[in-house]
Structure 1
């Protein structure tokens, strides 16, 4: 059996360990692994090549993806999806594993309905915002990168007695900002999922500053669109010298953590064990177990952050 794999959408640490696991486990089963380079665009352009042990040697520690990624507008058109299907047929590839997010899964679900190519989706995004899974590959590395950067910023904040507003990634989901706020001991957390009571914040922080607090650390998710508002609040309402730091794409890179490396192998192993005919499911991880969830369920529901995490975060919004 010939099986292909590609990475799609935003890159995340954990993709390369997953590619290594894919090649090793596929060959172990006596199947033939194929790489599709450059995501959906590569599927359209026929950038498909048989993979070997040599291709994945020495990639376990690397961030990003050695087979590249893309976002494809062309895949919206039937003629390009047909071309992609013809390219798979040329190589006699029967099934696909997709490392990506819900946008990639939507595209492949249409592809399945039209051409019957079975696939398993593995959730990979640092935003950790895909329905049906508690954990997405790459988020642990991103959180550890943010943790290191926040620890460094706190050193400067405490040395100068300043307020720092740190903006994390997360266009629609505040998971990164929330977990980072909780685990770094931030004084303020601002995410789309929680309302901020600036009156209560002023009352609490004014009391703490009067009692000896020397600095303030605020973590803001980019999707809240409140980074400048928080900075203005700290400067004008609390009278603090304030700096804004936007972390940006450094959050996507870096060496994958031990946890992301192990989970990459587990995701791939479960996907291969269940990659049967007529499958178009995502491999989810919930309650410490792997399971299969129909893609239509994934793309028709919105991810919600765990209530316990929101409860902890609410303390930093007032």
Structure 2
């Protein structure tokens, strides 16, 4: 029996621990593990290799993905999916573990419908925007990187009596900015999911500055640059012109995807992968996604994951409402 693992879409910390656990756990269960390099593109091009312990030795602490990733337009065409299936057949592979987001899961689901290749999807995206799971692999590391950067920027802002606007990633989801604002003690949090009142925020900040506040920290989600709410440049302009405080912007960008995986991401990677392999070794016949809800793991269908748009928990949104008024 042979099972392959692949990473697809955006990379994140936690993928390498998952790959290592995959190889180790397969050998424990006397299953031959295979590595698919370069995501869906590699699957089409036949970049498939039988894995050994040496392939994954010493990667637990590394960010990114050793087997690399990609986004593939070719995979939407049947002829290339057929080519990918034939590549799997050469190695006797009929089961895949895929780490990625909902787009990657949809691609594999079509692959399953076409050729019957069973798979389990592991949610792996720092955006944490996959419906049906409270946690996606890589989120904890990204949050810690944002926390470290925000703490550092706060230090220099306090030294010069400045405001700092820190923009996080997350596509259209404000989860990273929201949690970072709460845990870093920010004064402002601007995300697509929360309505804000600049007049009210301005009145509050002016009062705080008059009473001795030395700096202002603002977390803003990148999705706010898409005409949903005030953009980072406009927020900087507003702080300088309306609030009257010198302001600097820091766009964190792809630094949030890298770095050494946290203990929590390493542990979750191991659990996600182990349960996924157990599922594939059972009588599992359909493509599914493993999710984490209320401190428990469960398997759901691709249709369930795609049935609704992810929403941030109301209790988290409630905690940040004081930062938008």
TM norm structure 1: 0.99
What residue in structure 2 maps to residue 70 of structure 1?
A: 70
Distance in 2 between residues matched to 1:38 and 1:118, nearest whole Å: 20
Structure 2 Cα separation of the partners of residues 13 and 100 of structure 1:
12
What CA distance in whole angstroms lies between the structure 1 residues aligned with 2:60 and 2:106?
A: 28
Question: Matches of 1:116 and 1:94 in 2, distance apart?
Answer: 8
In structure 1, C-alpha distance between the alignment counterparts of 2:153 and 2:111, rounded to whole Å: 46
- 1:277 shift after superposition: 3.5
Query: Which residue does 1:270 correspond to in 2?
Result: 275
| Aligned positions of 1:177-196 closer than 5 A | 177-196=177-196
2:320 aligns to what? 313
Off by >2 Å, runs of 4+ in structure 1: none
TM-superposed deviation, 1:34 = 0.2
Instruction: Give CA-to-partner distance per residue, 1:122-161, whole Å, 9 cap, x none.
Output: 0000011111111000000000000000000000010000
2:264 to 259, 264, 267: 259
- Taking the aligned partners of 1:300 and 1:280, their CA distance within structure 2 comes to 15
Superposed CA deviations along residues 207-227 of structure 1, whole A, max 9, x for unmatched, are 111111111010100001121
Aligned match of 1:248: 253
Deviation track 1:214-258 (CA, whole Å, cap 9, x = no partner) reads 110101000011211211111111111011110010000000000
Match of 1:163 in 2: 163
What are the superposed Cα offsets for residues 234-287 of structure 1, whole Å, 9 maximum, x if unpaired? 111111101111001000000000000011100011101111441211000000
Distance 1:67 1:269 in 2: 19
Q: Deviations over 1:60-103 (max 9, x none)?
A: 00000000000000001111011011111111101000000001
Q: Which residue in 2 is equivalent to 1:231? A: 236
Distance 2:9 2:300 in 1: 20
| Corresponding position: 1:300 with 2:285 | no
- C-alpha displacement at 1:170, in angstroms? 1.2
Contact 1:169–1:176 (CA under 8 A) maintained in structure 2? yes
Q: In 1, distance between residues paired with 2:320 and 2:107?
A: 34
Unaligned 5+ runs, structure 2: 226-230
1:86-121 Cα shifts (integer Å, max 9, x gaps): 111111101000000001001011111111110000
- SS of corresponding position for 1:274: helix
1:28 equivalenced with 2:28 (yes/no): yes
Q: CA deviation at 1:175?
A: 0.4
1:211 lines up with 2:216 in the alignment: no
The root-mean-square deviation of aligned C-alpha atoms, in Å, is 0.7
State the 1:35 CA deviation: 0.3
Q: Determine if contact 1:6/1:99 at 8 Å carries over to the other structure.
A: yes
